[in-house]
Each structure stands twice: as C-alpha cells, then as structure tokens.
Amino acid sequence: MSEIKNYKGRVLVTGAAGFLGSHLCDRFIKEGYYVIGMDNLITGDLKNIEHLFPLEQFEFCHHDVSKFIHVPGALDYILHFASPASPIDYLKIPIQTLKVGSLGTHNCLGLAKAKNARILVASTSEVYGDPLVHPQNEDYWGNVNPIGPRGVYDEAKRFQEAITMAYHTFHNVATRIVRIFNTYGPRMRLNDGRALPAFIGQALRGEDLTVFGDGSQTRSFCYVDDLIEGIYRLLMSDYSKPVNVGNPDEISLKDFAEEIIKLTGTTQKIAYKPLPVDDPKQRQPDITRAKHILNWEPKVSRAEGLKITYEYFKSLPKEELVKQPKEFK
C-alpha cells in the first residue's frame, strides 16, 4: 500500500485504461496524488496508461467494478468512469453496459461511503436523449426511449445519476455528477464509431466520409484537456447537482465532415446513409452552470484541437487504421 504522507491523497479512477480515464490518471499524478487505476479492459487499452507503470505513485488493478470492489487503505477521491461509451460498444455488450452503470456505480458509491471519500460519477449528454430543448441545460429532464437501441446506455446513466443522488441525500456521501458532452483528443479509438474518429479514420484510409441522414444533425466537440479541467474543478467544488461540461460551439455533421476533408487533404467525398434509430438531432450544452459555479469554459478551439488529434491518429501504426471493433462475448 502507498504511503499517504508522500502524496496529496489517494485517488481511484475506474475505467482508467479508457480515453478519459487515462487522461484523468495523468492529471491527478501531475497534481501530486497517488493514483489507483482500475479497468477490466473490455473496451480500455493498457497502451493508454503504460507510460504510468514505471511511476511509484501509480498502480493498476485489473477488475470489473460490477463485482465487489476492494481497495486497501485510505481513499480520498473516486472517479467512476468505467463504461462503454460508444454506440458500437454498448450495442454489442448491452448487459455489461447496464451493469456497469447500475451495479458498478452502486459498488463505487458503497466504497466511497466506507472510505468517507468524495466520488464523481461520469454521466453523459445522452441522459437528454433526442432533446426537445435546445441547448440542453441541467434542469431539462430529457426525451429518452428506454427500450430503443441506445436505451441501455442512456438509462444506465440516468439510473447512475439517481442512485448517486440517493447516496448523497440518504447516506450523506460527498457526490459530484458531470454530464459529459462530445469530447475528442489523443487516445480516442479510431474504430469506436463516433463521428470524429470515424471521419478521420476514413480520410486516412482513403474512404468516403460517412454521414448519416442529411447531415443536418448537430454536435458540439470539446477538446479533452478542457474537459479534464472542468471535471477536476467540479470534483474540488462543493456542488452536488449535475453539471454540463462540454463545448457549446455547435456544428452540423455535414459541415464537420467538410472540415475533416479540408484538414486531412483527402480527395474523398461525403457518402450519405440512412439515419440510425434514436440518433440525437441536436446536441449542444448550456454551460451557464459550469461558468458560474466552476469558473470554467473551454479554451481550445476546434481548429486547434483537431490538428493535435489528427497528428495523433496519423502517428498510429498502420494496423490501427484497419483494426475492426472488438468482438465481445
């Protein structure tokens, strides 16, 4: 067990080998904490955190948080980021997605209660479903189809928020809830099915860029460093209700595909395909609450962030470009 006296405290990050979890590990190590990274590697990749393995202030635990969690010693903070996050993943492993949002969150909250630790859970803009309010603020209850194909993810996160607030009000656990909007940056998986890596991957392979529907549906993309800063500020705040963290700079997917074509210099065109069921038509965060409570707003422009992300994807081995999504059992 780590000696607490050498560090600001001990932090558990679940989903540590994932895109956001790995960046959180980096941030807390930089801030002087001892970090325990936990992941069952069903969608995470050890390559995202292998640079941390030589460090004395980091340890990795290969574990599924849907099962009982045992962490020896004191814990100051828990960040629950374990969950499939892309449609390709959660449509293939719907039961595991529901379990990590329910049983996994229950286990993390129980651990926070036992350790008297503060816990932040990663919710999502998907709790708003296909929104009837635009932009989406935290007081909007959402428009979600609980039995649609995306329901396993949407409802897992909505339950996660409900049980988190129950632990806060009934057990007096110090809880934080962040509603994360579309985020991008290094360590995203090229084959995770979301628009940005899909577009860049297609451009790098010399394929046409696939846009669903007529491309008029909108998204708002937040660079990962900005998101991590917002999460860190929320954890350190005294605010227990949900907070949107994302970039309100909205763009249509058709225009976004055109930006990627220009950025990558590809000669490929846009190919249009039918819109998937329950695909949100508008997605833009209202970040008034984050600005007021956390004094936070995104700093990295989409043009700047895309350049960094494109360079990251270009640096990947050739086999990563053609790798198919994981097959889950």
248 — phi, psi (to 5°)? -75, 0
Clarify whether residues 131 and 166 are in a common domain: yes
Clarify whether residues 65 and 23 are in a common domain: yes
pLDDT > 70? residue 313: yes
Whether residue 293 is contained in a domain is answered as: no
Clarify whether residues 101 and 214 are in a common domain: no
Clarify whether residues 267 and 138 are in a common domain: no
Active-site residue (options: 34, 153, 223, 232)? 153
Whether residue 108 is contained in a domain is answered as: yes
pTM of the full structure: 0.93
- Mean of per-residue pLDDT scores for the chain: 93
- pLDDT tens digits, 215-242: 998 899 999 999 999 999 999 999 999 9
Domain range for 148 is: 4-184+222-245
Whether residue 284 contacts residue 250, with contact meaning beta carbons closer than 8 Å, is answered with: yes
The token duo for 101 is 């949002």
Alpha-helical segments (H) within 172-301: 195-205, 224-236, 253-264, 288-294
Instruction: Report the CATH number at residue 51.
Output: 3.40.50.720
- pLDDT tens digits, 67-111: 999 999 999 999 999 999 888 888 899 999 999 999 999 999 999
Whether residue 282 contacts residue 218, with contact meaning beta carbons closer than 8 Å, is answered with: yes
Residues 6+ apart with CB under 8 A from 95: 152
Clarify whether residues 160 and 212 are in a common domain: no
Residues paired with 12 in a beta bridge: 36, 78
Clarify whether residues 30 and 171 are in a common domain: yes
Alpha-helical segments (H) within the chain: 19-30, 87-92, 94-115, 151-171, 195-205, 224-236, 253-264, 288-294, 302-315, 318-322
Instruction: Assess whether 153 carries a catalytic annotation.
Output: yes
Whether residue 294 is contained in a domain is answered as: no
Give the CA distances from residue 45 to residues 91, 123, 187, 248, 286, in Å, rounded to whole numbers and listed in that order: 19, 21, 9, 29, 32
DSSP for 193-221, please give it.
--HHHHHHHHHHHTPPEEEETTS--EEE-
294 — phi, psi (to 5°)? -105, -5
Domain count, the chain: 2
Clarify whether residues 122 and 15 are in a common domain: yes
The token duo for 184 is 């991008």
Whether residue 295 is contained in a domain is answered as: no
Clarify whether residues 51 and 71 are in a common domain: yes
Clarify whether residues 215 and 143 are in a common domain: no
Coil, helix or strand at residue 169: helix
pLDDT > 60? residue 287: yes
Whether residue 143 is contained in a domain is answered as: yes
Which residue's structure tokens are 């708002």?
Answer: 220
Clarify whether residues 52 and 201 are in a common domain: no
Clarify whether residues 17 and 125 are in a common domain: yes
Whether residue 290 is contained in a domain is answered as: no
Instruction: Report the CATH number at residue 306.
Output: 3.90.25.10
Alpha-carbon gap, residue 225 to 222, rounded angstroms: 9
Whether residue 329 is contained in a domain is answered as: no
Whether residue 263 contacts residue 306, with contact meaning beta carbons closer than 8 Å, is answered with: yes
Clarify whether residues 97 and 11 are in a common domain: yes
Whether residue 139 is contained in a domain is answered as: yes
